């Protein structure tokens, strides 16, 4: 450790803590009292793509009405897990069960239990908000007045009632995401899966979406599993599974993980701050303590937990 000098320095903070959310959970203790154990059960899941291991023996359970986060840097296997849970892909090994249905053996029954929001856009921009939901409802066998009232209910829920007859292409990014969410929830799923749902959203829209997920959990008792690579989003989850290079490196509440992972800050002086920051960003060995959210300020200081 040394004193700051004239050399350009960077500050890298691990586990950046976001501002406290406005939303106050109705029942902050609910995750500790599961009504039904293990709504989602992942056991020793393994998946390889052409010689590359994307998931390497991952196991965890998700409880009823839990907001569960899958956190990890890019390439850690989050989307692979999401594809397996949503039955888009069969795992190379292990088992994934949702609401008692095995993803590999009973994909049709499992699909009826889940709503899915993919990272890539799935709404049709040339259709209105209501038409998008109408189309989705038909895919799930909903018809007539039941579907009509369900569409009205969902549009109200995501704050798009007054835009029902407008084309989705006229919506902001946040509104389009909310329409995606309405689509995923139209058939009343018990479990909602979302893959990096806030990608491309501004901070306000991101915050709204997370608040909405918390409301869904508390008021509808929907079990939500959401992937993110952002620490400040992960903090809003009841529990987190942290993936790194296809392995589960930590599992627990955000507070537990912060206690476990949070550590010292070391200030280093360097004449070549850019290259040092670059080296600090490179993934280290697969252990929880090395997973990081990096943030640096020019002309200040440089730190890395090691
Ligand atoms: N379709 C694919 N074909 C080959 N390799 C893939 C494919 N999809 C993902 N991978 C690889 O699997 C690993 C995990 O990827 P992914 O599940 O997309 O991680 P994440 O969503 O956390 O970024 C990465 O090394 C990635 O390059
Ligand atoms: Mg991904």
CA 75 – ligand 2 centroid, Å: 7
pLDDT of residue 17: 32
Residue 195 predicted with pLDDT over 50 = yes
Tens of pLDDT along 240-285?
999 999 999 999 999 988 887 655 445 556 677 777 777 766 665 4
pLDDT of residue 304: 45
CA 47 – ligand 2 centroid, Å: 15
Ligand 1 pocket residue status of 78, Cβ below 6 Å: yes
Tens of pLDDT along 60-84?
999 999 999 999 999 999 999 999 9
Q: Which residues of 236-255 are buried (b: 16+ CB within 10 A; e: fewer)?
A: bbbbbbbbbbbbbbbbbebe
CA 250 – ligand 1 centroid, Å: 20
pLDDT of residue 67: 96
Residue 25 predicted with pLDDT over 70 = no
Ligand 1 pocket residue status of 51, Cβ below 6 Å: no
Residue 121 predicted with pLDDT over 80 = yes
pLDDT of residue 36: 53
Neighbours of ion ligand 2 (CB under 5 A): 78-79
Percent of the chain scoring above 90 in pLDDT: 58
pTM reported for the whole predicted model: 0.75
Residue having the nearest C-alpha atom to atom 8 of ligand 1:
80
Average pLDDT (170-193) is: 93
Residue 236 predicted with pLDDT over 90 = yes
Domain ranges of the chain: 273-305
């Amino acid at each position: 450790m040394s004193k700051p000098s004239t050399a350009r320095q960077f500050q890298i903070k691990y586990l950046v803590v976001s501002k406290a959310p406005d939303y106050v959970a109705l029942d902050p203790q609910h995750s500790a009292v599961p009504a039904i154990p293990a709504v989602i059960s992942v056991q020793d899941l393994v998946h390889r793509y052409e010689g590359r291991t994307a998931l390497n023996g991952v196991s965890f359970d998700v409880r009823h009405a839990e907001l569960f986060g899958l956190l990890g840097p890019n390439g850690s296997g989050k989307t692979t897990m999401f594809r397996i849970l949503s039955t888009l892909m069969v795992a190379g090994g292990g088992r994934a069960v949702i609401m008692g249905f095995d993803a590999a053996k009973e994909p049709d029954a499992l699909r009826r239990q889940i709503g899915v929001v993919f990272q890539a856009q799935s709404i049709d921009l040339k259709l209105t908000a209501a038409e998008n939901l109408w189309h989705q409802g038909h895919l799930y066998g909903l018809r007539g007045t039941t579907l009509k009232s369900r569409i009205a209910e969902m549009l109200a829920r995501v704050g798009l009632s007054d835009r029902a007859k407008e084309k989705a292409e006229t919506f902001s990014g946040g509104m389009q995401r909310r329409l995606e969410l309405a689509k995923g929830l139209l058939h009343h799923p018990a479990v909602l899966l979302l893959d990096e749902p806030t990608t491309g959203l501004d901070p306000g829209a991101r915050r709204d979406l997370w608040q909405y997920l918390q409301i869904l959990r508390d008021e509808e008792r929907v079990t939500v599993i959401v992937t993110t690579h952002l620490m400040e989003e992960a903090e809003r989850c009841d529990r987190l599974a942290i993936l790194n290079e296809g392995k589960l490196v930590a599992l627990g509440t955000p507070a537990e993980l912060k206690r476990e992972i949070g550590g010292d800050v070391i200030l280093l002086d360097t004449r070549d701050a850019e290259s040092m920051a670059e080296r600090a960003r490179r993934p280290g060995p697969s252990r929880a303590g090395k997973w990081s959210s990096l943030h640096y300020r020019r002309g200040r200081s440089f730190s890395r937990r090691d």
